[in-house]
Amino acid sequence: MTDTTTPGPDADVDTPVHVDTGAELDALVEEHDVVLVDFYTKGCTLCQAVEPVVGTVARATDAVVAMCNPRTDLDLVDEYDVRSVPTLLLFADGEAVDRRADGFVEADELVDMVEQFT
């Protein structure tokens, strides 16, 4: 079952949450200090390999981790320059501060990236 509820700012989130629209993503980024977003598509084997990695980041850091299929809101593709999947985008204080879009990323690398901002 997919969780489509957006956690509040005081939520202790240790599993990725799913967002389907730009409005949901905007609300999540606005409510939380640090958010890591995994843009993925169904059927992408590399995306499936990254999914447990972002789950590890959710458990290991204070960041909220979100998963978003940009096909559910195509405006996200242009807004966040998603040219390939998976694309991992890190937000801190409402601003995009880092991204990874070059294939598989190890959990340690993502944790280090997130912890710079937590």
Mind listing the pLDDT tens digit for each residue in 4-17? Answer: 455 554 455 789 99
Number of domains in the chain: 1
Supply the range of the domain harboring residue 44: 17-115
The CA R_g of the chain, rounded to the nearest whole Å, is 13
Query: pLDDT by residue (tens digit) across 103-117?
Result: 899 999 999 999 999
Indicate which residue of 17, 25, 47, 53 is catalytic: 47
Is 91 a domain residue? yes
Q: Which residues have CB under 8 Å from 94's CB, separation 6+?
A: 29, 30
Residue-wise pLDDT for 31-78, tens only, equals 999 999 999 999 999 999 999 999 999 999 999 999 999 999 999 999
- Please tell me whether the peptide bond between 7 and the residue prior to it is cis, using omega within 30 degrees of 0: no
Residue at 6 is within a domain: no
Residue 3 lies inside a defined structural domain of this protein: no
pTM, full prediction: 0.88
Q: Burial level of 32, CB count in 10 A (0-12/13-18/19+)?
A: buried
CATH code of the domain in which 69 resides: 3.40.30.10
- Does some domain include residue 80? yes
44 belongs to the catalytic site = yes
Tokens read off for 75: 């405006």
- The answer to whether position 35 is within a domain reads yes
